[in-house]
Amino acid sequence: MPFLDGKFDGEQDRDLWYTSKLYDLTPNPPRDRLAEILKMSLKRGIGPTGLIRENLNRSRSIPLGTQAMFLYDDRYLYVGLRSKKHTGFVYDPITDAPRSRDSDLSAQDRVEILIDVDRDYGVCRNLTVDYRGWVNDACWGDSGWNPNWFVARTEDGDSWLIEAAIPLESLALRKPGPDTAWGFAIRRIVPGIGTECWNAENSFDLEEAFGLMLFQ
């Protein structure tokens, strides 16, 4: 079992996280760009699902303050998240109660990660974690896909922090090596407040929404 404490500064993991590049997520793009994305998706026969529709109904671009880091070894893909709490969202007190698996997190401040290991932009693995450390995972909408991943959460001032380890064997048949590239997208959603993404289009609905995760 990997060492996780959600702090990124422990004696066992501090030096590792300092080697990771820090990715800042950005707010949704302007409405005219979203309209262009929608037009392009309809031309390609892709419906205006999910985030495109949500963002077209929202004219605001609100920085939420979300950062992500990634590392890997021969067994796990590690994800580090630092998400600033938003004053307009009500955060429930954190308890020591057991976390439920595949809970409905749609009403929670959360981060969603999509991984497409063969970059066919069809079948993707979706891993979601919220500010409480609760998780939801699915493979192309199939909630029966249940990777045995580990999550630690904590708080640091005005932010909630997540440190997660996802078994590589649950993501791909072959372990990634130098120069391996996976399709990758990540977004944070604060219901009723706003959305941030790492990829430029700020959408999970199109091939253009994915960037590349390059292993070194």
CB-side neighbour CA atoms (13 Å) of 118: 6
Task: Identify the pLDDT of residue 182.
Answer: 93
Q: What CATH number labels 14-87+108-214?
A: 2.60.40.1190
Task: Report residue 18 as tokens.
Answer: 């300092």
Q: How many CA atoms lie within 13 A of 216 on its CB side?
A: 6
Is the pLDDT reported for residue 206 higher than 80? no
Give the model's confidence band at 41: pLDDT under 50 very low, under 70 low, under 90 confident, else very high: low
Q: What is the three-class DSSP state of 207?
A: helix
Residue range 55-73, pLDDT digits in tens: 444 435 568 899 999 999 8
pLDDT over 60 (residue 15): no
Mean local confidence (pLDDT), 4-13: 66
What is residue 75's DSSP assignment? S
* pLDDT band at residue 171 using 50, 70 and 90 as cut-offs: very high
Q: Are 67 and 203 in contact (CB under 8 A)?
A: no
**Cα–Cα distance measured from residue 197 to residue 185, given in angstroms and rounded to the nearest whole number:** 8
Q: Which pLDDT score is estimated for 76?
A: 93
The structure tokens listed for 39 are 């037009």
Give Cα separations from 146 to 38, 135, 187, 190 (angstroms): 32, 10, 21, 25
Which range among 85-94, 132-141, 193-202 shows the weakest confidence by mean pLDDT? 193-202
Q: With a cut of 50, say whether residue 179 has pLDDT above it.
A: yes
- Look at residue 200 and tell me whether its pLDDT is greater than 80: no
Whether 144 has a pLDDT exceeding 60, the answer reads yes
Residue reference for tokens 């120069």: 179
User: Is the separation of the CB atoms in 185 and 199 below 8 Å?
Assistant: yes
Residue 129's pLDDT is 97
pLDDT of residue 149: 95
Q: Residue with structure tokens 């671009």?
A: 61
Q: Classify the C-alpha dihedral 7-191-104-25 as positive or negative.
A: negative
Delimit the domains of the chain by residue range: 14-87+108-214
Cα gap 145→134, rounded to integer Å? 16
